[in-house]
Chain A
Amino acid sequence: MKALRKFLDKKKPLFEKGGKFAKLQSTFDAFDTFLFVPDHTSKTGTHIKDAIDLKRTMSVVVMALIPSLLFGMYNIGYQHFLSVGETAPLMDMFVYGLIKVLPIVVVSYVVGLGIEFAFAQMRGHAVNEGFLVSGMLIPLVMPVEAPLWMVAVSTAFAVVIGKEVFGGTGMNIWNPALIARAFFFFAYPSKMSGDAVWIAEKADTFSGATPLADAAALVDATPAQAESLMSGALSQTWDMFIGLIPGSIGETSTLAILIGAVILIATGIGSWRIMLSVFVGGYAMGAIFNLIGANPYMELIPAWQHLIMGGFAFGAVFMATDPVSATQTTRGKYIYGFLIGFLAVLIRVMNAGFPEAMMLAILFMNTFAPLIDHYVVQGNVKRRLKRVKVKA
């Protein structure tokens, strides 16, 4: 460690103004502060000091994502061997998934960080560390059979149009990882929907439908069909919770996501208000549909099942809580979260074109987050003004 520090200190002057590589200053700074807690001190006035800076915050989120990532790798192997009808030891499944997932992670990081570094260099900013999390989120919301170049294009689009256009980390309106997924979904729909993409090297005879696809098929199903659908993947509640179902790499296991949620809440980085209200909103809409029961989907899928199907839990814990694109006020967080859950289930059930609506619901509410905050703050101002007037 010490040798590394010494090496960095020795090279530092080269990258400062007038040095040989002054142009690469922000790149050097990024690596330096990534490896060591920076020793920058404020020069004027009193400042509140906190050891946790953006890089440390981001590292915690990445740590919280690790359970989902590891389980996702295992599940990919599990689904593959299940589809070809073989049994394999646990380690084989994991290694198979590792080989499948690792390239996607690498592509996402290389493309995203490459663009981030290039922009920081061009603008003379310090490199923002926001991509550390996005770069991990993007692979986790991709189907395992996503072609790598499509992942690269989606990542590039998300970083440039989703973030850099607005001024970089902290300025974006939408969650960049979801922009990448939305771009992928609309640009290459055949690789992001249907039965074929969710299981790696699936045997042709094996149905690769996700529980969500099964559920969406319920809408127009006859009673007999509905019965057979309901006795299939949809009846395996425990598998859905543990995550042994086809789906995007990191979204399947509600259990692993909950472990991540505990880490985020315990460290105070993720907002429990948003997570809770997303689940409440989803449950509320599901319960309303149960009451209406106009088609088999509304009638047969219990409200709580929506919360463990597809990307609902993943979106609630990791996507909706993104501090940049979410609401900032306490009351705003409840409204924002509730509407995300509410809309996600609404779109799922009512629009057959979008069986997975979590992405759309979050992006939609991201758009409205500043508006919600505005009215919450204005409401507070009004209430306090009234109080002042009564006294006077």
Chain B
Amino acid sequence: MSDKEPLFSAKNRKLLTNPLGSDNPITVQVLGICSALAVTAKLEPAIVLSISVMAVLALANVIVSLLRNTIPSRIRIIVQLVVVAALVILVDQILKAFAYDVSKQLSVFVGLIITNCIIMGRLEAFALGNRPWPAFLDGIGNAAGYGLILVVVAFFRELLGSGTLYGFHVIPQAVYDMGYENNGLMILPPMALVVVGIIIWVQRSKDKSLIESN
């Protein structure tokens, strides 16, 4: 943290906001897709996983950033893995203690946070070369961008697939009586891919600078 630079300078604010839109980890960097497909059938696990990823990513970024000058670059990946693994185990234990049902629903995906490409990606690309405070903001920002997509996808999948939102029935019984049925395909993983695809499609048709030329 530099003495002159204010805590939320324009540059630091960008670290928080960019990943939400034009530099989104899922729709633009295309990282962390697997968990986005796996846990988004319902809102609750999606939100819990987003928060877990945020905690792990922000703390790991800070720790690695603090250690960045002492880590020999040859073994940096192992050091990063140790840091992330320790944090993931912490998160897993906390979930098991305080939110057992959700932790059972998420099953291996909490443990698999360690393999989430976003985390290693941000550690390598950002935390190793920046001070702890910007690294912390970067972690929060990227996890929020990741969580945003997860929640949007889960919103549509839960609403159309189960007729509920966060476990509450939102589609009235009268609509079912008229012949409406939940869309079974929405609960299956392929539909998560389609929904993510539609988000990417909409985002790129709004922001032409994101379209790759080949």
A311 to chain B, nearest CB (A): 20
- Scan B100-120; emit 1 where CB is below 8 A from any A CB, else 0: 000000000000000000000
CB contacts (< 8 Å) of B184 on chain A: these are 186-189
Contact (Cβ within 8 A) B188 A165: no
Question: With the chains together, A183 CA to B191 CA distance in Å?
Answer: 10
Question: Which residues of A131-190 are within 8 A (CB) of B?
Answer: 147, 149-150, 153, 161, 165, 183, 186-190
Inter-chain contacts of B201 with A (CB < 8 A): 165
Give Cα A147 to B178, complex, Å.
11
Residues of A within 8 A of B (CB): 147, 149-150, 153, 161, 165, 183, 186-191
B90 within 8 A of A: no
Interface size class of B (residues with CB under 8 A): 10 to 19
Structural contact, A147 and B188, CB atoms closer than 8 A: no
- Can you list, as one digit per residue, whether each of B65-92 has a CB less than 8 Å from chain A (1) or not (0)? 0000000000000000000000000000
Q: Decide: A147 and B179 in contact? CB cutoff 8 A.
A: yes
Task: Determine the distance from Cα of A189 to Cα of B197 in the docked complex, in whole angstroms.
Answer: 24
Closest to A153 in B: B183
Chain A residues with Cβ under 8 A from B186's Cβ? 187
> Bound complex: CA of A186 vs CA of B194, how far in Å?
14
Which residue in A149, A153, A189 is a CB contact (below 8 Å) of B179?
Answer: A149
Chain A residues contacting B185 (CB-CB under 8 Å) are 183, 186-187
For the complex, what is the distance from the CA of A190 to the CA of B186, rounded to whole Å? Answer: 15
Query: Can you name 22 A-B pairs with beta carbons within 8 Å?
Result: A147-B179, A149-B179, A149-B180, A150-B181, A153-B183, A161-B194, A165-B197, A165-B201, A183-B185, A186-B184, A186-B185, A186-B188, A187-B183, A187-B184, A187-B185, A187-B186, A188-B181, A188-B183, A188-B184, A189-B184, A190-B181, A191-B181
Report the bound CA distance from A190 to B181 in whole Å.
10
CB-contacts of B172-190 with A (<8 A) = 179-181, 183-186, 188
Q: How far is the CB of A184 from chain B (nearest CB, A)?
A: 9
Query: What 10 A-B pairs have minimum CB-CB distances, sorted nearest first?
Result: A187-B185, A186-B185, A187-B183, A187-B184, A188-B181, A147-B179, A189-B184, A161-B194, A186-B184, A183-B185
A153–B183 Cα distance when bound, in Å, is: 10
Q: List, in ascending order, chain B residues with CB within 8 A of A165's CB.
A: 197, 201
Q: Cα distance A188–B180 when bound, in Å?
A: 10
Could you tell me the distance between the alpha carbons of A264 and B183 in the complex, rounded to whole angstroms? 36
Apart from A165-B197, A186-B184, A188-B181: 19 A-B pairs, beta carbons within 8 A: A147-B179, A149-B179, A149-B180, A150-B181, A153-B183, A161-B194, A165-B201, A183-B185, A186-B185, A186-B188, A187-B183, A187-B184, A187-B185, A187-B186, A188-B183, A188-B184, A189-B184, A190-B181, A191-B181
Q: Given the complex of chains A and B, what is the CA–CA distance between A191 and B182 in angstroms?
A: 12
Q: How far is the CA of A190 from the CA of B183 in the complex (A)?
A: 11
- Which chain B residue lies CB-closest to A183? B185
**Which chain A residue has the least Cβ–Cβ distance from B183?**
A187
Which residues of A have CB within 8 Å of B197?
Answer: 165
Residue of B nearest to A191 (CB): B181
Closest to B180 in A: A149
B178: nearest residue on chain A (CB-CB)?
Answer: A149
